[in-house]
Amino acid sequence: MPRLIRANYAVDMPRPVFGAHTYLDSVTDSSNADFDNMKWSNVTVDNYNAFDSTNCYYVVPVSGIYQIINNVNLRSSAANWTGIYIAHNTTIVAQSWQRNAANFDYNATACRATVQCNVGDLLKCQWHNDYEEPLTSGTYNQASIQLIEFS
């Protein structure tokens, strides 16, 4: 673990962690208009204050390997396609699609990615805006971003 040296003592740097639930809204991604970046009404942890709530993406504060999880369990209507994504800067690095033929709006769709990032890189949890939007109530939909290894 990297250490910060302050005066005559060393301090271990905390690993960046972001966690959120309850999808609130979205902002169309500036690099691809087919995707909307997910905005969260309840950010449970953001120990580096790295989530940009205006543009709805995470700005990497420390270089390293990150794990990102995007999970949508409930969507706004039934029997339609759901498509969720994880983007690293302008590249889609994970996606998951699902259509519920049983006409039920509870439909777990999740994706996860592990990526090497530099300071200032963008990590985005997204949904495809031609398909069904995640539901905006309850804690059914979540996101998690965490540094798993410093580089």
Query: Residue 83 above 90 pLDDT?
Result: no
Q: Considering only CA atoms, which of 78, 144, 135, 77 is closest in space to residue 114?
A: 144
Total number of residues shown for the chain: 151
pLDDT digits (tens, 9 = 90+) for 29-81: 999 999 999 999 999 999 999 999 999 999 999 999 999 999 988 776 666 78
Q: How confident is the model at residue 17 (pLDDT cuts 50, 70, 90)?
A: very high
- Integer distance in angstroms from the first to the last C-alpha of the chain? 10
pLDDT of res. 103: 62
In sequence order, the β-bridge partners of residue 67 are 114, 146
Q: Considering only CA atoms, which of 129, 140, 127, 116 is closest in space to residue 68?
A: 116
Q: What is the pTM of this model?
A: 0.89
pLDDT digits (tens, 9 = 90+) for 107-142: 778 999 999 999 999 999 999 988 888 888 778 889
